[in-house]
Structure 1
């Protein structure tokens, strides 16, 4: 078979076939009387073998070794190819994210594009101070797209930079919730925590409450607590069980108590919250410290039931609880006098 026929049937150009011949990779078995290359069926099969290995990313040198050396084992080379491909995909993903960020900023000229590129470079700096500066004082006329801020907040480990990112995201006016919503389904609890904490900073954004409500069922305790505090501040009653558990466990209990107090101003929530706290007070597993925290939560609630329970606690069998309850009753009396 002449080179033109081989090129048509194999899809490999005649120029590439001549290159294979020059490298000794696929040499035609014979020549015609006129000196033209003549390929046998075995030669054509070898061409397809070469093309198959090229499709895996092997260089022509590596292909020649693979086809000629019977002792050559593919395992190490394939492992290298996997690593190289993963590195390339990571670089391509990073490039894609940069292009999307530039597109989201709707640049009107190349100067704006360059400013966004500079901003992106600063946000990926190894220096936390430079990353924070990029968020708080971006290059002139380079507003930070919400999508870019959302992506950055999901990977930021420095608490100060993360706080700046959440602050900027909440004020960006863009739709960063969509990116954060997807992150709440991540297998990485750390990413879910960052996503929910960021959404908690902009609870009035479209879809934010829905995402936070879903997060109340997250398997990670910290995610649930972030969501409960944000929802409670928005008056969402579904947050009450998690907020009460925070008081019981002594985790951000001061914040949880404050939010429960605000929720109790709604007459429809007062009895629900009071009953939940009283039930925990009576739990056999509640130790002295836990019952004191619950008493401190009761003093913040609206309604007469909470005050009645506190007065009962002044006679509690646990002297520490009784002492704290007595002091809290006095606090309530002072509040009453101040409000007269």
Structure 2
């Protein structure tokens, strides 16, 4: 079969067949009566083998080795091809993500595109300083795609950079909340914590609704960050978690401040006081815990808290007793001696 007919039947161009010939991949084994090269049935089968291997991503050199090397082991080559393909997919996926983010920023010209690319590159830098500057710049210029900010804030380990990213993200309003809500369900605990911190920094009704749901999270760190944010905003459902934080000595000063903010409502104040006092009645609270509870009761008005402080002023532990006496005097000076 002459080269033209082989090209028509195989779909491989005559030019490519000649290239195969020059490389020694497929050399026609016969000659026509007029001296033209003819391809045998075996030659044509080899052409199809070459095309099959090329479809897997092999180079022509690798194809030749696969067909001619008696020591060739296909399993090793297939493993290499799998790794190369995965690397290529990852690179293409990263490129696609970058392009989508640039598109989402709605650039009006090449200057905008170049600026966004520069910000994205800086945000992925190994330098914490560059990442922080990118976050601050994106907030000032409002050019960073929200998806990129969310991804960055959920993966950032440097506290200064994380703070800048949360600030930049807060300026975007509700745009990143759906992605952050997904972060609350992440398998990694540190990602869930970063997500709830970022949501708390946004501080609007939609964010508060997410934080309210987070109060029932199975992740205690998520519950605590949500409670610290919601307490000062008047959400009484945060009370149990805040009391737990005082008892556990986890951000207990901040938790006590949040409880004090919630205690403006008399009913809530009595509820808080009862919750703080409850461990005292069991006799299991050690002096350190009793001292923290005393300090927390300082910001809770009402008779329930005042009576508890009077009892604590007689505590066996001198430090607890002195703290209670000091708090009582402050309350009396401030006009809350027992109301």
Q: How would you bin the TM-score normalised by the shorter chain?
A: 0.7 to 0.9
> Which residue matches 1:179?
179
Is residue 173–residue 202 contact of structure 2 (8 Å, CA) maintained in 1? no
Distance 1:10 1:268, change over 3 A: farther
How far did 1:194 drift? 1.6
CA distance in 1, matches of 2:211, 2:193: 11
> Which residue matches 2:62?
62
- Which segment drifts farther, 99-108 or 162-171? 99-108
> Which residue matches 1:278?
277
How far did 1:115 drift? 2.0
TM-score by length of 1: 0.83
How far did 1:154 drift? 2.0
Q: Deviations over 1:232-277 (max 9, x none)?
A: 2333333222222211111111111111121222344333322322
CA distance in 1, matches of 2:137, 2:229: 28
CA distance in 2, matches of 1:153, 1:49: 50
CA distance in 2, matches of 1:133, 1:308: 53
> Which residue matches 1:292?
291
> Which residue matches 1:305?
304
CA distance in 2, matches of 1:79, 1:97: 27
How far did 1:32 drift? 5.9
> Which residue matches 1:258?
257
Distance 1:249 1:20, change over 3 A: farther
Gaps of 5+ in 1: none
Distance 1:31 1:306, change over 3 A: farther
Q: Deviations over 1:163-186 (max 9, x none)?
A: 111112112346011222222222
Does residue 200 of structure 1 match 2:200? yes
CA distance in 2, matches of 1:56, 1:268: 72
- Which segment drifts farther, 114-123 or 217-226? 217-226
CA distance in 1, matches of 2:267, 2:26: 83
How far did 1:78 drift? 4.2
> Which residue matches 2:105?
105
Is residue 28–residue 37 contact of structure 2 (8 Å, CA) maintained in 1? no
Is residue 146–residue 173 contact of structure 1 (8 Å, CA) maintained in 2? no
Tell me the C-alpha RMSD between the 2 structures: 3.3
CA distance in 1, matches of 2:205, 2:9: 59
> Which residue matches 2:160?
160
